[in-house]
Structures are given as C-alpha cells and as structure tokens.
Chain A
Amino acid sequence: MNKRIIELWVGLFMLVATTALLALALKISGLTGSVFGMHSYQITANFDTIGGLKLRAPITLAGVRVGQVTDIKLDTTQFKAVVTLQINDKNKLPADTSASILTEGLLGANYISLQPGFAENILKDGDSLHETHSALILENLIGQLLFSLKNSGEKK
C-alpha cells in the first residue's frame, strides 16, 4: 500500500484517540473549570455535621447548579466540618448567603443548596459563609420522633 496513505491512516488514528480522550475528560468526567480558563472563586462554610456530603458534590441555588464542593476538612479547635465551595465566577452571591446540606430524594446523594440574602456587597474569594444549616441525619430524626411520641403518650 502507498506509504502516504498509511501515514494518513495513522495520523487519523492518533487524531481519533486524542478526540476520544478529550471527550472522556470533558463529557464523561466533567473536567472543566480552571483548566480551560473558566474562572471560579472559593468560599468556605462551617457545618456542625455534613452527613454524607462528598467531594465534588453539586452546589445549587434555586435548583440551578452553580459550583461544586472541592475540599472537606475538620476544624480541630471547634470540631466543625470546613467545606470549601467552588462557585463559578459569573454567579455573584450576596454576602449574607446561607448554605444548607440537603438530600436528593429520600435516600439520594447529599448536595449543598444556597439561599441568597439581601446584602448589597457580594462574596469574594476566600470569604466564609456565616449562616449554615447542617445535614439532617435520618437516625437522629427517627430518635427524636420516637422520643416525642413517647413523651406525648405519657402526658395522656
């Protein structure tokens, strides 16, 4: 076979593989953000408990995805969970925004939902959220329910 055609095919092979790798990176593992110049800023939030929140969990505002969780650490002085939130740059949030950890469906994965406040100034890189609502732990909830049921039974 002609040498040129062989070279052409090999080139095409390499090109297809590179395209497939790009597809794997962008479409399948969702690798976007800082790598391709999509700017974002990071804020932190302290929670009493984060339940089953995992790295790269989505952050939503009014149900729309605005960023993701990039880091979860333990604050060893206050014994609180410090969660770093990466928010896309185009979403400007008021400074008194509050965050709560919610669950998708009854047994789904945890995500962070933001409720915007009314402040004039906006959150900047490195700021932290003051008002947070921890995750609901199902077992605790059931425990409380049983306790209150028992109490109300005794009163009668």
Chain B
Amino acid sequence: MTIAQRPLSLTVNGHAVGPIDVPEDMMMLDFLHEYLDLTGSRLGCGQGICHACTIILDDPAKGALEMRTCITGAHFFAGKTVRTIEGHAERDASGNVVRLSAVQQAFIEHFAFQCGYCTPGFVTGTTVLMERLRKAPVARADVEQAIEDALAPHICRCTGYVRYYQAVREVILNTPGLVTG
C-alpha cells in the first residue's frame, strides 16, 4: 500500500521549508520530528490535552496563535509561518544559541521545571501570552488571572505550576508595555 503524499511548503523559524512530499494524514508533530529534525516539541498525550506539543502559528491578521501539533495535520500549515521551541533563542550565523529568550531565561532562574518535558509548551504559551499583552496590556491587578487563563491548559507533573507562574509573572512585569497602572 502506498501512502498518499502531497508537497508541503511553509516557513519554520524564519526559514523557508519545502516543498517536501509529506503523507496527507501526517500530524504536524511527526513532520517536525521526522522530516525537519526539530524534536523539541514533545509528544505527551497525543490527544490535544497536555499541550506539550504546542508551537506558534503566526497569523498575519490575528498574530501569534498556539497550535497543538499532535492533533493538527502538517498540511494545515501549508503556506503558513510557524515558530517551534527551537526558534525562540537568539542564534548566531552558524546556528549556535547565543542568548535565551526572556521567557526561557526566567524559567531557568526560577527553577520552574524539573523533568522539562512540558517546558517547550510552557515557553510557547507564555510567549503567545506576552505578544498578546503587548498589543492589549492588562491592569496590574489582572496579571495573575491572565497568566492562569493562558497557561491553565498546559499540564505539568513535577513542579505544581507555582514556579512556572512566578517566573511568568516576573518576566511580564519586567517587560515594558505589557501591564497598565
């Protein structure tokens, strides 16, 4: 039996990818792992619950959206622009990491994770939240609620969320323009 394939082109972490022949029903997570060797996004539950597999879809109209790659087909992203966990840190010309993103740095400083399996999803979720706050800042009193609302779908089994949420609050409050009042 041959698996039906279709060419796929998209932009990943600023680089044009494809066209590559990809099975029609392949999930995005498998495409990232098996075709692009971008293995940072994690397969957790495989049914869209744990959010360890999320990446950012940069929608021209709506801005950054969180997408669960374990339940979204690779071809959904045809022609679109995405950021995976590998695209957050600054890199030099040869691709070496020179500086972590503020979110990644805050997670390390707060000892926010232990096993780290959920961390790519939390980095993604927090980054999307911060980009949303840049466009629509919230009042200082509403920051904690905004964090809870944005990160509640992300499941972590080690640190009980407290250190994650503390790190996110700190990086939001230390970043100008995200909070009013």
Partners in one complex: no
Give me the interface of A with B, judged by CB distance under 8 Å. none
